[in-house]
Homo-oligomer: A and B are copies of this chain.
Amino acid sequence: MSLRRLSFAIQHTRKLHRSLYFSAAEMARAMTVTFLGTCSGGGPNESRNCSSLVLDCKLANGALWMVDCAEGTTRQFAFQPPDTPSWLKPNSVTKMFITHMHADHCMGIIPMLRNILYPPSIDPNAFVPINPHPKIEIFGPAGIRTFVRSIMTMTLTHTADKYVVHELLRPDDVPTPCDPPEVMHTNEVAGKDIWCSEDGFWREFTIGRSVFGDVLVDAGPILHRDPCLGFIFREHEEPKRKIVILGDTYDPSPIIPLCMSPSLLIHEATDAHIPREIAPQHRRTPEKVLHTALARGHSIPQMAGEFAKTIGAEKLVLNHIGSRHVCSFPAPRHDRDSRLLVIREIERQATEAWGSGRHAMAAWDFMRVVVPAPESESMRQNDQNRSSSYEHVYADVGADGLPYVNKKRKW
């Protein structure tokens, strides 16, 4: 049925957007995360694309950052709901952070580059300003440089602008050489080999100048069936917000030292046990679900909640929602969609394990999470248009199961 359903999902998302009661002044200072793809590698399906999200840290010139870039990410930009405030443009993306090399996290990179980088002129006499600086920087694990370079070469891609790939390397990794320059793609600039420190972390390996100060980026290893990273985006000055975005993992504990007390934690929850009274088609025991998730290197909602508890997260969003065969959790299409109950159950399991009194959210495509800056008293008095409190309406459901978005919840 697909596209009509997708349209429902969009309508739904639109309502959600409208329900974020932040004033313009608050939004001007808020960091936001917009999910462009929220399903696991079994996807995509009609309601969820595979992993990618856009981070808006209110950087100079409106620059945006991305984490992961599954196939179809470029088109997700075009699919944004019509009345999205601050419509995201692929062209604004200046840095891309890749958590790991699995296809559902990186196959969209080359198509994105083809859209972001200006194409070569057809006129050999045309004056094309050669900008020696890369228009986009890509950060990722060992192998990401070869991945981008070899696909750019194999697909005979040429652009007028340049790109660069920096590798986050562990002691045993083999860096991808940029010397002699002939080994590089013609549109590539030599990237940095960023070795981890002795304790295995990459601290402050890149920086963004925001309207309010510096945003620093750290990375650390998390456990998955192949090497995988988590990224931490944090403000250097007050209000020192901190956003932790983890790749696929069955145990992110190695990264704990970097990510205590984040404003927001985004953690995968690929599989979940759904009781039969909620979804009769789900017939696996809780033990079977956990075993399968761990064997494939993934988490269940409880694990996400427990990790949020361990690091003292202020908000928790579940991502990388299962989409293959027995663990398929499409986004709900409207307020009365029974799939909503499945998603609620996933959120309930994480919320219970988190035990913070706050509510965990399962992501869906085009959902935007706002991380506001606490307001000063003077700002609050000056802003006539702000709503009554810090509270905002968030995707949540009352005990009656309805409605999904018309309740206020304090994070």
Residues of A within 8 A of B (CB): 1-4, 6-7, 10, 41, 44-46, 49, 71-72, 74-75, 78-82, 101-104, 106-108, 110-111, 114, 119, 122-123, 143, 146-147, 150-151, 154-157, 226, 292, 295-296, 324
Residues of B near A44 (CB, < 8 A) are 74-75, 78
Residues of B near A4 (CB, < 8 A) are 7, 10, 82
17 new A-B contacts, CB < 8 A, other than A1-B82, A2-B82, A3-B7, are A3-B10, A4-B7, A4-B82, A44-B78, A45-B75, A45-B78, A49-B75, A71-B74, A72-B72, A72-B75, A101-B154, A102-B155, A103-B157, A107-B151, A107-B155, A122-B292, A150-B154
Residues of B near A102 (CB, < 8 A) are 155-157
State whether A296 and B122 are in contact (beta carbons under 8 Å apart), knowing that A10-B3, A101-B155, A111-B71 are contacts in the complex.
yes
Residues of B near A147 (CB, < 8 A) are 151, 154-155
Q: What CA separation (Å) do A49 and B4 show in the bound complex?
A: 18
Residues of B near A7 (CB, < 8 A) are 3-4, 6-7
A98 to B: closest C-beta gap in Å: 11
For the complex of A and B, the 7 pairs showing the least CB-CB separation, nearest first, are A122-B295, A103-B155, A72-B72, A1-B82, A46-B78, A7-B7, A71-B71
Q: Which residue of B lies closest to A119 (CB)?
A: B324
State whether A78 and B2 are in contact (beta carbons under 8 Å apart), knowing that A103-B114, A107-B107, A122-B296 are contacts in the complex.
yes
Residues of B near A82 (CB, < 8 A) are 1-4
* Identical subunits present: 2
A340 to B: closest C-beta gap in Å: 19
Count chain B CB atoms within 10 A of each CB in A79, A82, A107 and give the residue with the most.
Answer: A107
Q: What CA separation (Å) do A295 and B120 show in the bound complex?
A: 11
Q: What CA separation (Å) do A119 and B295 show in the bound complex?
A: 13
A47 to B: closest C-beta gap in Å: 9
Q: What are 20 A-to-B residue pairs whose CB atoms are below 8 Å?
A: A1-B82, A3-B7, A4-B7, A6-B6, A41-B114, A44-B78, A46-B79, A71-B74, A101-B154, A102-B155, A102-B156, A103-B111, A103-B155, A104-B114, A106-B155, A107-B110, A119-B324, A122-B296, A143-B154, A156-B226
Residues of B near A6 (CB, < 8 A) are 3, 6-7, 79
Residues of B near A108 (CB, < 8 A) are 71
A157 to B: closest C-beta gap in Å: 6
Residues of B near A104 (CB, < 8 A) are 111, 114
